[in-house]
Amino acid sequence: MNLEPALQGAASESLVERVVAAILRRLLRATLLRTFRAGRPFAEQRRRLESFARITLPHGGVRFVAGDCGGVRGEFVTSRSAATPGHAVLYLHGGAYCVGSPKTHRAISGTLARLTSAAVFVADYRLAPEHPFPAALDDAVAAYRGLVARGYTADRIAIAGDSAGGGLAVATVLRLRDLGEAVPAALALFSPWVDLSDRSAAAVPAGEVMISPPWVSECARAYLAGRDASEPLASPIHADLRGLPPTLVQVGTDEVLLTDSRRLEAGLRGAGVPVQFEEFPRRWHVFQANAGVLADANRALATVASFLGERWP
């Protein structure tokens, strides 16, 4: 277990960083936690999330271009200063399979593109309940194959994702492995949601400011549409994880899905998969989305860039 980068960041947290974190907590609790509420129509949640995303800081130095990859629509994100990218990242956004889009995750995709000089494709995969499992998985696999068709060999591709997108990233590699296709060079996962079993009665950490167990469970039901939550490609924690590529997992300690990350780390290690695992004290669900504002988010994504760079030729 490699906690050094996260612990160093926590130990050196300045007064300014503590103030910024406190302001972000209040903002997220007043906006996203109130948006992601069980019983609220998903269409309304999507509109609210898109509106909130518009006020995030614009990312300088990168291009956001709508496009298609493998028949899946999405957004290509590239550094303005980089030459033709020799590597690619398939990014799978979070949102519990029911909300979210490339536009809502530009702080992460833009930072990754700038730090890695890779072409980042953020798949606008189909969402539940209109498109339940395995629609998102089908789209993710198609987008990966689209990157390969564009000339990126598997050893020059990574898959990254947050929350539901993190679980989807694992499921995508599992399906590729089972089909006998080449898997990517690495996985980078932020607070991955890998167990879709009901957790509506779960305790909520005092520091959680984004999601609640009832909402998570409602989204799981919408995505599964009656299928068993223990299906390995829906809940990868139940899968045989052997043969997955080196994996980086980052998670905050103040969040509902902390146990998912810890269980996934244990499962990966038990399957012989090289794992770099980082817990960030006092950080909330997918805090990396606050890149450009929160120092820990910047540190976390810089670690991701180094991790991928060490595994790409």
Between the alpha carbon of residue 252 and those of residues 22, 60, 220, 279, the distances in Å are 15, 27, 21, 6
Q: Are strands 62-69 and 119-123 parallel, antiparallel or unpaired?
A: unpaired
Examine residue 129 and say whether the peptide bond preceding it is cis (omega within 30 degrees of 0): yes
Residue 65 pairs with which residues in a beta bridge?
76
- Nearest Cα neighbor of 163 from 251, 43, 265, 54 is 251
Choosing from 79, 109, 117, 163, the catalytic residue is 163
Catalytic (active site) residue 285:
yes
Element (H, E) at 76: strand 72-79
Q: Are the beta carbons of 92 and 44 closer than 8 angstroms?
A: no
Closest CA to 140 of 181, 184, 99, 173: 173
- The catalytically annotated residue of 59, 105, 238, 285 is 285
Q: How far apart are CA 146 and CA 122, in angstroms?
A: 12
**Is residue 163 flagged as an active site residue?**
yes
105 among known catalytic residues: no
Which of these, 86, 88, 94, lies nearest to 143 by C-alpha position? Answer: 88
- Tell how far CA 7 is from the center of its chain: 21
Of the residues 208, 255, 278, 279, only one is catalytic, namely 255
Going by their DSSP bridges, the two strands 62-69 and 72-79 should be labelled as antiparallel
Q: Which residues of 140-176 are buried (b: 16+ CB within 10 A; e: fewer)?
A: bbbbbbbbbeeebebbbbbbbbbbbbbbbbbbbbbbb
Give the residue numbers marked as catalytic: 163, 255, 285
